[in-house]
Amino acid sequence: MRHALGVLGILAAGVLLVVSAAMNYRFGLSLGKTEFDGQIYGVASAAADCMKALVPFFLFAAIKNRAWSQAAASMLVWTVVMAYSLTSAFGHAALNRFDVAGQRTHDSNVYKEAQADLASAREQLSWLPQHRPIMAVKAEIEGLKGSRRWRTTKACTDATIRKSIAFCDSYRASVAELASAEKAAALDARIVKAQTTLASFDGGTVNTQADPQAAVLAKLTGVDLENIQLAMTVFIALLLEIGSAFGMYIAFSQWRIYERHTPAAPSMASVSTAAAAVAAPEAPQVPVAIERPRSGANDNPTEPEKISVAPTRLVAPENDVERFYKEKVETQDGSSLTATTLYEDYCAWCEVQEKEPLALPTFGREFGELGVQKAKIAGRVRYIGIALKSEVGLKEDKNAPAFSVKAA
């Protein structure tokens, strides 16, 4: 389960790192005067973003090894690359958020205008009187213009008799009908255009709010919409940068990369017969019958007494903490050691033995299993009843009487 969580954490941190590196690459790309310069800045920005995720490993390793100059250099590098990544993330997040909000505002305005135009065209179309198709009306008008009365009335400008007046009224009705037909055709075109525009939106609808998320948060909190948008932009940038900066370090903590435990012995070793066990580790130990002559008056000399000897008890090899306890610590009433002092002496012992020291929590847990009493005094953890052999020897040297040597 621990390994599965670690793998999932690394995958999630890797996604954040890739997104953050891509944002830094685009930001650096926009800084170049030429395309080649932009590529240089982009690649450098992406590399700086990846360095941001690696520096925590170097920093805490340097602190653990007490390499303070390397720790200071790591902290300085991390501060610079983190600040650069934050600025690019802020710019990229703000640009995208406001671009999206502006596009939504434009889409909302177009959608509303198309709806209004569609309703207006349909309303105007309902006002128009009944009419025939344009081509039929035009054909009728052309026929009227070709008649004799069109010429005698001088194109219906001089109609004096009843038949001429009726002819001209028929002509004017056809002209009005043609106008209605043409108006209807124009309105039909507007309706089709408005319907096409509305159909181009996803599902035939569009958000009326330019930034729905910020609008909802503004209503819930009572904060101004612009402040909410600014806060969300900052939050997205921090999410990407902090997640990509520490995600890998946190995910790799599942494997405790800075701890190295003493490997367990493959088999149990005998205390009294260690050399024989090394030479023949597979030989089973069985009870041994030892014969010796019986003593006393009633002893039968022909039947020797058999004594069954139990096999030698097997114990596990000592680990480094037990060896350190036996070599460097002794029991002393009235004495106590702080956990920090004990751990520092353990680290020094490991350095002499050329061993990798355990982490402080692991060392404290294994040392506590040795049965040493532990208490918290004045806010510090202390081990009661023990002292370092080096400190005891130093005290004895100081308390020893001084002898004067006289020259012969």
- Specify whether 47 is located in the same domain as 174: no
Mean pLDDT over residues 290-314, rounded? 51
Taking 80 as the threshold, does the pLDDT of residue 256 lie above it? Answer: no
Mean pLDDT over residues 273-282, rounded? 43
Mean of pLDDT over the chain: 78
C-alpha–C-alpha distance, residues 136 and 182, integer Å:
12
Q: What angle, 0 to 180 degrees and rounded to 10, lies between the N-to-C axes of helices 2-29 and 35-64? A: 140
Q: Which segments of 36-146 are extended strands (E)? A: none
- Specify whether 97 is located in the same domain as 127: no
Contacts of 289 (CB under 8 A, 6+ apart): 306, 307, 308, 309
pLDDT score, position 407: 40
Question: What is the number of domains present in the chain?
Answer: 3
pLDDT score, position 294: 52
- Specify whether 227 is located in the same domain as 101: yes
Q: Between these two residues, 98 and 363, which has the higher pLDDT value? A: 363
- Specify whether 102 is located in the same domain as 131: no
C-alpha–C-alpha distance, residues 372 and 370, integer Å:
6
C-alpha–C-alpha distance, residues 381 and 404, integer Å:
44
Q: What percentage of the chain carries pLDDT values higher than 70?
A: 77
Taking 90 as the threshold, does the pLDDT of residue 187 lie above it? Answer: yes
- Specify whether 243 is located in the same domain as 188: no
Query: How far from chain centre, in Å, is Cα 263?
Result: 34
- Specify whether 129 is located in the same domain as 195: yes
- Specify whether 76 is located in the same domain as 140: no
DSSP character string of 221-256: H---HHHHHHHHHHHHHHHHHHHHHHHHHHHHGGGT
The residue with tokens 């904060």 is 223
pLDDT score, position 53: 87
- Specify whether 44 is located in the same domain as 182: no
| Residue 380 in domain | yes
- What domain range is 188 assigned to? 117-204
pLDDT score, position 317: 63
33-37, 316-320, 326-330: which range is least confident on average? Answer: 316-320
53-62, 147-156, 328-337, 388-397: which range is least confident on average? Answer: 388-397
> With bands split at pLDDT 50, 70 and 90, how would you rate the model's confidence at 255?
low
pLDDT score, position 232: 80
C-alpha–C-alpha distance, residues 216 and 205, integer Å:
19
Domain boundary among 240, 255, 270: 255
| Residue 311 in domain | no
Mean pLDDT over residues 312-337, rounded? 80
CA atoms within 13 A on the CB side of 363: 22
| Residue 378 in domain | yes
CA distances 308 to 288, 290, 291, 302, 316, Å, are 6, 7, 9, 19, 25
C-alpha–C-alpha distance, residues 254 and 5, integer Å:
8
Which among 230, 198, 197 is positioned nearest to 211, based on CA atoms?
Answer: 230
pLDDT score, position 396: 54
The residue with tokens 């207006």 is 120
> With bands split at pLDDT 50, 70 and 90, how would you rate the model's confidence at 73?
very high
254 near 6, Cβ under 8 Å?
A: yes
| Residue 356 in domain | yes
DSSP character string of 133-156: -HHHHHHHHHHHHTSHHHHHTTTT
pLDDT score, position 291: 53
Taking 60 as the threshold, does the pLDDT of residue 150 lie above it? Answer: yes
pLDDT score, position 399: 54
CA distances 258 to 58, 220, 244, 252, Å, are 11, 46, 21, 10
Mean pLDDT over residues 222-241, rounded? 82
- Specify whether 99 is located in the same domain as 127: no
According to DSSP, the β-strands at 373-377 and 329-338 are unpaired
Mean pLDDT over residues 66-74, rounded? 90
Q: Between these two residues, 258 and 104, which has the higher pLDDT value? A: 104
| Residue 167 in domain | yes
| Residue 140 in domain | yes
199 near 109, Cβ under 8 Å?
A: no
Contacts of 136 (CB under 8 A, 6+ apart): none
List pLDDT tens digits, range 131-149: 899 999 999 999 988 888 8
C-alpha–C-alpha distance, residues 318 and 259, integer Å:
19
Secondary structure element (H or E) that encloses residue 397, with its range: helix 389-399
Q: Between these two residues, 207 and 32, which has the higher pLDDT value? A: 32
Domain boundary among 235, 255, 275: 255
Mean pLDDT over residues 29-52, rounded? 87
Q: Between these two residues, 289 and 178, which has the higher pLDDT value? A: 178
Secondary structure element (H or E) that encloses residue 338, with its range: strand 329-338
Taking 50 as the threshold, does the pLDDT of residue 94 lie above it? Answer: yes
The residue with tokens 């039909």 is 188
> With bands split at pLDDT 50, 70 and 90, how would you rate the model's confidence at 280?
very low
At residue 101, the 3 state secondary structure works out as: helix
- Specify whether 63 is located in the same domain as 12: yes
pLDDT score, position 403: 44
48-52, 93-97, 216-220, 391-395: which range is least confident on average? Answer: 391-395
| Residue 335 in domain | yes
Q: Is 148 exposed, middle or buried (0-12, 13-18, 19+ CB in 10 A)?
A: exposed
- Specify whether 227 is located in the same domain as 78: yes
> With bands split at pLDDT 50, 70 and 90, how would you rate the model's confidence at 406?
very low
CATH number for the domain that contains residue 326: 1.10.10.10
Taking 90 as the threshold, does the pLDDT of residue 119 lie above it? Answer: yes
Mean pLDDT over residues 279-288, rounded? 47
pLDDT score, position 391: 66
Taking 70 as the threshold, does the pLDDT of residue 300 lie above it? Answer: no
- Specify whether 9 is located in the same domain as 102: yes
| Residue 189 in domain | yes
